[in-house]
Amino acid sequence: MMMKTVLECDDTNSVDTLQSFTSIEDDRDSVNSSSPSPAKSRSGVVTGRGITLGMLMADGIVESGDGLLTIDYLGRKFTADLLESGKIKWSGHEFNSPSAWAIHIKKLVNPAKKSGCGWASVKYKGKKLDLLKSTWFSQMKINMPGFEDMPDLQDGENGFTNGHTGEDVDEERDEDEGMHSSPADRPNPPTSELTRGQKRKLSTSESGTYTHKEGMAHPLKKQEVSERRVVKYSDITKEDLERSPNTLVECLPFNSVGRMQPFTVSTTTNCLLVMDFHCHLTTSEVVGYLAGKWDPSTQHMSVLQAYPCRCRLGDKTKASVVEEEIRQAIALRGLQLVGWYHSHPCYPAQPSLKDIQTQMDYQLQMKGEGTVYQPCLALICAPFNLNKRQKESSLKAFWVMPQIEDRGRTCRGMPMTMQFTWQSDIFLTQETLLEMKYLVDFYKDSPDMVQFSEPWFKSETFLDKLKGSLMKKFPKDQTDGRLLEYIHNLLVTPAT
């Protein structure tokens, strides 16, 4: 496993390696494709290839029968039977998935059609299958071990309800609302020795997009004011790529380009707990690795543990040592490297042009050959959004879809939002507690460590903000306040 990362780079967005990632491919469903057995594990699956009609049948959402499935396309209606095996029978042919049947039908009517989302196109007794899929997930949340206590989050919060997120819409709205509110109604930027006394500056770009000028400096560099603006992928220019590599790009949902999410993702609260804690500690960007399991039979990724890089970005001497330690730790737990994360301390959880380029590099490195396929995930954690009063950090999982058209080679790929679920761990591990302590020990004497006793919003401190962000990620055995006390003692009276 090759792990040469961002730690060896001066720029926080240039994560140099990972043994990672793969390009998005067309929906692999075909007339003769194989279908996963309904009996296979369904834990954590929300959408995409992980769910099959057989699974919906096994859990009583749909039943087999003649003439139950329909497609309405370009003024024509097609009817098919749902077999007990979970396959679809139409005109003497059997199809293993809704997408396979939908693509076949659409090509018959429109030969130029090359893809389509079957779950959105096919109806069961008049109801779209993607709605029935959401019903299935709601039931699984109640019946599956580990899902019964998953927080009920509204669209736009961290985590996803029935496989849907409204984060992009809410983030854009909150940015706009925050710009029109008074400074007293907005939270303070995080205070460190480097940023003490600095005022947040907000400006409007020529395009009318609101941007941040934070002045959050890397401790190893001369302090400077940096500007980050969020643009739509369709608006990226060659000049942006060459002159403004830190420009943030709004991620797109897969359905906006007629695609399905290529694999499903779930993560654990212990993983999110360590990552969120790490990202809160400093006004500088941080980076780390994600380890877990990849199941090629269900096309599902389980992200189980976060491994923070306790090393300064650009410190080439220590980088190799830190990464070797992480590599060994992942191997000892019998896990696989499945992704990476980094922070955007005071700006939105959207990837920069450099993040997109880096992620694309990983995908090309890790896609494998032949039947070997190992995807990798990118996660962005934004702990201090200056226009949001919410305590929870914003999280964004993304993947890069290669360009279908040339577009002058202005950007190597299109950033796509990856929906994911997370479930509560039963126990807090000793490994998690130690990692939190090691992180505080690493940053405690640094000029960019957040001063948690300083006010965040009105009477609440940055420590209050941190606790509020972490609490939903606590394991089930931490309801008595012990972990909150542990975190308080780490940050208020750090061990010497």
Mean pLDDT calculated for residue range 8-25: 35
Of 10 and 444, which is predicted with more confidence?
444
pLDDT score recorded for residue 410: 58
pLDDT score recorded for residue 319: 86
Residue at token pair 């940015």: 175
Residue at token pair 């029968």: 65
CA distance 424 to 432: 14
Q: Of 280-294, 344-358, 368-382, where does mean pLDDT reach its minimum?
A: 368-382
CA distance 109 to 459: 64
Question: What confidence tier does 405 reach under pLDDT thresholds 50, 70, 90?
Answer: low
For the question of whether the overall pTM of this predicted structure is more than 0.75, the answer is no
In this structure, what token pair is assigned to residue 465? 């903000």
Q: Of 121-125, 458-462, 477-481, where does mean pLDDT reach its minimum?
A: 477-481
Beta strands in 246-376 (DSSP E): 248-249, 264-268, 287-295, 300-308, 336-343
Query: Looking at the predicted structure, is the pLDDT value of residue 291 above 60?
Result: yes
CA distance 493 to 207: 47
Q: Calculate the average pLDDT of the chain.
A: 75
What does the DSSP 8-state code read for residue 296? T
Q: What is the pLDDT of residues 354-364, one digit of tens each?
A: 999 999 888 88
Mean pLDDT calculated for residue range 123-129: 91
- Please state the separation of Cα 206 from the chain's center in Å: 30
The type of residue at 298 is T
The type of residue at 458 is K
Query: Looking at the predicted structure, is the pLDDT value of residue 408 above 80?
Result: no
Mean pLDDT calculated for residue range 325-349: 94
Which element (helix H / strand E) includes 82?
Answer: strand 76-82
pLDDT score recorded for residue 309: 95
DSSP states of 116-142 as a string?
Answer: --HHHHEEETTEEHHHHHHHHHHHHHH
pLDDT score recorded for residue 183: 58
Q: What is the pLDDT of residues 212-266, one digit of tens each?
A: 333 333 333 333 334 467 888 888 877 777 777 888 999 999 998 888 999 999 9
Query: Looking at the predicted structure, is the pLDDT value of residue 311 above 50?
Result: yes
pLDDT score recorded for residue 277: 98
Counting Cα atoms < 13 Å in the Cβ hemisphere of 265 gives 23
Query: Looking at the predicted structure, is the pLDDT value of residue 414 above 60?
Result: yes
Residues in the chain, overall count: 496
